[in-house]
Amino acid sequence: MSLPSNVNRRYITVAAGILIVLWLWVAFDRPYAPERLWNTNSGIDSTKTSDVFDFPPVRSEAIQEVCGNTEWNSSLIFTCDNNRDGIGHVRNSILNCARFAIQAGAALVLPKIIARQSTVHSDPETDTGLGRRRGEVLKSMDYMFDVDHFVQSMRLSCPEMLLIKNTEQHFSDRRKELQPETLVLNRPITGMEHPESWPSLFSKWVEDHIPPRHEEGTLKTEPIVIDLQQSFLSYPIHSDGHKFAHDFGELLKFREDTRSLATAVLLELQEWHDMDGNISDSIITPSFFGAHLRTSEFGEHLDRRHVAPAPFMHYDGQSIAYLEHAGAAQISLMYVSSGNLLDVERLKKSALGWGIDITHKHALLKGKHQDQLRSLTWDQQALVDFLVLTKSQEFAGVGHSSFSWNIALKRQRLEQLSGQEVGQAILDEEGEWSDGLSTLYGVRNGYVESAQCMWE
């Protein structure tokens, strides 16, 4: 059916835009420009002595350039609520969501996190482990991250993007789920070969799956809402240049209480273990050997293509490798992150013969800090370990863990930011990957190739 001759199509378009804004106002939490979403002055005095992991919001010219060249669509909204598993998966998934939203020129509803629940908090004296994690519950972004930092960083680096605080689930023929990388047919282990083609592929997908705004002369005011499914190792992070990749990872900063607890751990190490290095340095030297002992049967889900050689899947292989490594480096203090405190105690006994002292966050934090740690969930406590391990003199982990990979890549980036030279990473025939700062055991070529899709 054609429009009446006295109706100007330009007015129809303007009216549609106004109605979409009104629809957003009612259907979603009121949309805000990022600078008005939150007051970033929280009143917390985060000084260098209480939080050595703090850093200012990101003002990135590289991100600004990409956002400035994007065609933005005021009637398109992305949600990102299917971020699950460990911190490595969650962090990469959220950053992928933000990158795909920029690709499409879409508004972004602040991501949510599917939290894993634990029946038992770890206690180094009474618990046999961290407890069986069961059930899922949807949490806001501040479950793991500093939301103010993300919002302010997007305001400074990508002011064109509209951030929306919250939305509820609702059925609509203009709301669809999408696994973003499925639009690309050829997806090697190194990620999408031509991510620049994704916007046109997405536009074609929208045409095929979403009813047009005008149907037989009817004006549709409801925007398109795309619920992005979890995307982990799919986006080649350096496709927009190294500076973009480095800056984009800094959009996410861990929540303030975990940063303060990690700082408290470092202060305890300094006081009780004669650690002479400056805890404000990106890599503290001299300090301690950091180890990720990944032996808990309740660890994050592993991608089928990432199956490590058997020796480093279990306690024996990891413990021997870490003790030999620390012994060769002549580092007598080892800080261990693990989901299995029984294995940490086993390692502590084995380390006596090497003259190596083993410690962990539960042994170091006392009083109010221990109470604060106990109040956190299993995954939130892991954020404390992540931060502490980034500053270790040397770090060792396993190649089948995104947690270990995230730490190793973050250490590379922090050292580069401090103006230090970072060695070329080498993978030997025994599956040992090392860049001079970190070593990962049980690594295959596929893991190294996949790491090109992990935000630093």
Q: How do the domains of the chain map onto residue ranges?
A: 9-248, 256-453
Q: Is 429 helix (H, G, I), strand (E, B) or coil?
A: coil
Query: How many angstroms separate the Cα of 437 from the Cα of each of 247, 289, 394, 430?
Result: 21, 11, 6, 18
Using 50, 70 and 90 to split pLDDT, how confident is the model at 48?
low
Which helix (H) or strand (E) segment is 177 a member of? Answer: strand 175-178
Closest by CA to 239, choosing from 99, 136, 88, is 99
Show the tokens assigned to 152: 């302010």
Question: What is the structure's pLDDT at 13?
Answer: 45
Alpha helices, H only, 28-136: 61-68, 87-104
What span, in angstroms and rounded, lies between the C-alpha atoms of 380 and 133?
13
Tens of pLDDT along 333-358?
Answer: 999 999 999 999 999 999 999 999 99
| C-alpha torsion 399→299→395→264, nearest 10 | 160
Q: How confident is the model at residue 43 (pLDDT cuts 50, 70, 90)?
A: very low
- Where residue 134 falls among pLDDT bands split at 50, 70, 90? low
Q: How far apart are CA 144 and CA 158, in angstroms?
A: 22
Q: Please state the pTM of the whole predicted model.
A: 0.85
Q: Is the pLDDT of residue 102 over 70?
A: yes
CA distances 44 to 8, 140, 251, 255, 261, Å, are 54, 21, 20, 12, 14
User: Which of 231, 221, 11, 1 lies closest to 100, judged by CA?
Assistant: 231
CB 262 within 8 Å of CB 384: yes
Winning range, highest mean pLDDT, from 7-16, 89-98, 112-121, 164-173: 89-98
pLDDT at 49: 65
Please give the Cα distance from 122 to 129 (Å, whole number): 6
pLDDT at residue 128, as a whole number: 37
Tokens in use for 57?
């919001």
Element (H, E) at 164: strand 163-164
* Residues 407/389, Cβ–Cβ less than 8 Å: yes
Token pair listed for 335: 């800080």
Q: Report yes or no: 426 and 440 within 8 Å, Cβ to Cβ.
A: no
pLDDT (average), residues 236-246 = 95
Q: CB-based contacts of 49: which residues, under 8 Å, 6+ apart? A: 263, 267
In angstroms, how far is CA 234 from the centroid of its own chain? 14
Q: How confident is the model at residue 40 (pLDDT cuts 50, 70, 90)?
A: very low
What does the alpha-carbon distance between residue 114 and residue 227 come to, in Å, rounded to a whole number?
14
Q: How far apart are CA 44 and CA 259, in angstroms?
A: 13
**Listed range (88-102, 131-145, 148-162, 344-358) with the worst mean pLDDT:** 131-145
- Flag whether pLDDT at 38 surpasses 50: no
Helix (H/G/I), strand (E/B), else coil: 311: helix
Q: What is the DSSP letter of 236?
A: -
Confidence at residue 280, expressed as pLDDT on a 0 to 100 scale:
95
Q: Which CATH architecture has domain 256-453?
A: 3-Layer(aba) Sandwich (3.40)
Q: Please compute the mean of the pLDDT values over residues 326-334 and round it to a whole number.
A: 97
Residue with the two structure tokens 């947690």? 403
Least confident of 306-315, 328-337, 407-416, 443-452: 306-315
pLDDT at 386 over 80: yes
Higher pLDDT pick, 168 / 242: 242
pLDDT more than 90, % of the chain: 70
pLDDT over 90 at 428, yes or no: yes
Question: What pLDDT does residue 342 have?
Answer: 95
Residue 310 has pLDDT above 80, yes or no: no
pLDDT for res 170 = 80
Please enumerate in sequence order all residues whose Cβ is within 8 A of that of 86, keeping only pairs 6 or more positions apart, or say none.
Answer: 299, 300, 379, 382, 402, 403
pLDDT mean over 307-312:
66
Q: How many secondary structure helices (H) and strands (E) does the chain include?
A: 14, 16
Of the pLDDT bands very low, low, confident and very high (cuts 50, 70, 90), residue 28 is low
List the structure tokens of 135.
């059930």
Nearest Cα to Cα of residue 450 among 180, 234, 246, 197: 234
Cα separation, 313 vs 296, in Å, equals 10
- Cα 238 from chain centroid? 17
Here the tokens at position 278 are: 């400056």
Comparison of pLDDT for 305 and 455, the residue scoring more: 455
Q: pLDDT at position 345, please? A: 97
- Tell which wins on pLDDT, 45 or 390: 390
